[in-house]
Chain A
């Protein structure tokens, strides 16, 4: 009786959440198999998998796919390593730790578009950006970051924004690490490195897994940084799947192809997640 009432009371929110997910998904699936171009109005005709074929055979697809994977992979490595290093650095008490901690975490509170604009205009601009000023001060030629190495520029921007996230998760986990265990290891003759390797890293296994999974989900769909800075270019050098879908739908007005791309992105995300969860699970979770 009680559980029935509970189910009944939970139902509206669950149904709402379900609709929230299923309606867009259903519509995407539907649009992906019909001919639907905003420039040529008419009845939506069933078109089989030609949208998929068109999207996959597009010369931009392969570069976009590779760019997506490079972005996710390199940002993950940078943020996890940097986050871990910084977390260990500010784990010990020192004067002004509170302020340092807030400052280190603050990039995460900045909107992606603002973040991208700061990097584009204040840091990476080849004329008046700080990097170019520094380069000129040393007599070097300023680098035009966004056109010479667009993907690396995006990686730097997103890593700068997401390292604080990893840092935040790791620092809370480090604070909960038992100090007596570390002292016991010290008395067992373990060096700082051995303590890190045998105690701290296994202790951080779960938070590392969490950071990797959450970040993967977000980085598969990086968009704002690309849109604001490179616009996917030069050529397709910094186009990822999300940006390619955007350009299909809103630059070429082909909703059908864009939807097919969306479905492919969903499949890709699931494949990546599957392998990640298995890899992370095997290497880290088992130990804890």
Chain B
């Protein structure tokens, strides 16, 4: 188990500033997930930690030791790649034991460790196969096994599940989570999939254009997004944004008897999650806003309703599975202002944090 600290890290590619001053603290045994849209620098950040890219400025500390200029081979980190990067001409066992063989570990100990890792990952019967003869999920397991065998100080995962099909992804996600509980190692995981981020992470790091946008527990990030970017990125369906208007100001005044404890009226945009929108067919008393249904998506367990508000602003709402709502109809809805966030013109959140007792995990 190891801790990792990143200080004022910058990375320039010839004319592109990929990482723009990242400061980050990763505790021992923590499962940290870097998440963000493509091109946000999350993979670059991971590669900088791995030592596969040269740092432009700033420093990386592993257990308080500066490893900024240490070569990848000497950092004692293990990485699982998106393409798995298995050695094609080596068998599963040889793939998993390669690092130990390079380190000239006693063959007996190597065999033991490989057998242990294979046991954990259910690869025992496949040890003699070549990667070519494995399915995607099995290759993924071998790649993880290759990392486990080494008992590295930190595990790095670069979008390890994105090449798997949807159902296998869910299964591997759960296995990874179980693996972390079992090994209790420090793990850093890069993904663009916010579901993976929410389910796996102890700590989520949301990156945007080479900057850290927010760091926190998954639920804290969900309930208290620091900016419009985070609010939009975390949560499916996405948070909807509606411009502040006199109508809404009136509704807020009604709700709080003229007070504005959540500083909503001074915001220019309101971020509304689907669960904060109530359709009027279900609630007749508090209806306040009117829109037009533009699209109805029936998912089986629930129905997603997309409402055009003031013409161009889309609001997403959830409805019952069998709700009788049709596209094109006018609809009335209300908003639960307790859970709505206000954002200013720059996309920063103005409203205070949602009260702590709402949040299960601690920040």
Contacts and interface: CB of A to CB of B under 8 A. Distances in A.
Given A189-B73, A189-B74, A198-B87, A180 B99 contact: no
A19 B100 CA distance: 59
Interface residues of B, number: 26
Nearest to A286: B89
B87 A187 contact: no
Chain B at the A interface: mostly helix, strand, loop or mixed?
loop
B102 A188 contact: yes
B87 A185 contact: yes
Given A189-B73, A189-B103, A191-B73, A184 B85 contact: yes
B81 A185 contact: no
Contacts of B85: 178, 180-181, 183-184
A288 interface: yes
Instruction: Identify the interface centre among A178, A184, A189, A287: most chain B CB within 10 Å of its CB.
Output: A184
A232 B275 CA distance: 92
Given A178-B85, A181-B87, A199-B87, A190 B73 contact: yes
Chain A interface size, as a band, is: 20 to 34
A188 B98 contact: yes
Most chain B beta-carbon contacts within 10 A, residue among A178, A188, A287: A188
Interface string A188-203: 1111001000110011
Contacts of B51: 186-187
A68 B50 CA distance: 53
A188 B146 contact: yes
Contact of B150 (A188, A205, A287): A188
A190 B99 CA distance: 7
B77 interface: yes
A36 to B, nearest CB: 53
Contacts of B71: 186
B279 to A, nearest CB: 49
Contacts of B103: 189
A288 B90 CA distance: 8
Given A180-B81, A191-B73, A185 B98 contact: yes
A199 B90 CA distance: 9
Interface in B118-158: 146, 150
Contact of B83 (A180, A186, A188, A198): A180
A189 B101 CA distance: 10
Nearest to A192: B73
Given A178-B83, A180-B83, A198-B98, A187 B89 contact: no
Interface string B73-93: 111011101110111111000
Contacts of B81: 180, 183-184
Contacts of A198: 87, 90, 98
Contacts of B18: none
Nearest to B82: A180
A203 B89 CA distance: 8
B52 A183 contact: yes
Interface in B190-231: none
A267 to B, nearest CB: 35
Nearest to B150: A188
A183 B89 contact: no
Contacts of B179: none
B24 interface: no
A186 B98 CA distance: 11
Given A188-B73, A203-B89, 5 more contacts: A178-B83, A180-B82, A183-B50, A184-B146, A190-B99
The 10 lowest CB-CB distance pairs between A and B, nearest first, are A188-B99, A180-B85, A184-B85, A202-B89, A186-B72, A287-B89, A189-B73, A181-B85, A180-B81, A187-B79
6 contacts: A180-B82, A184-B81, A186-B51, A189-B102, A194-B102, A288-B88
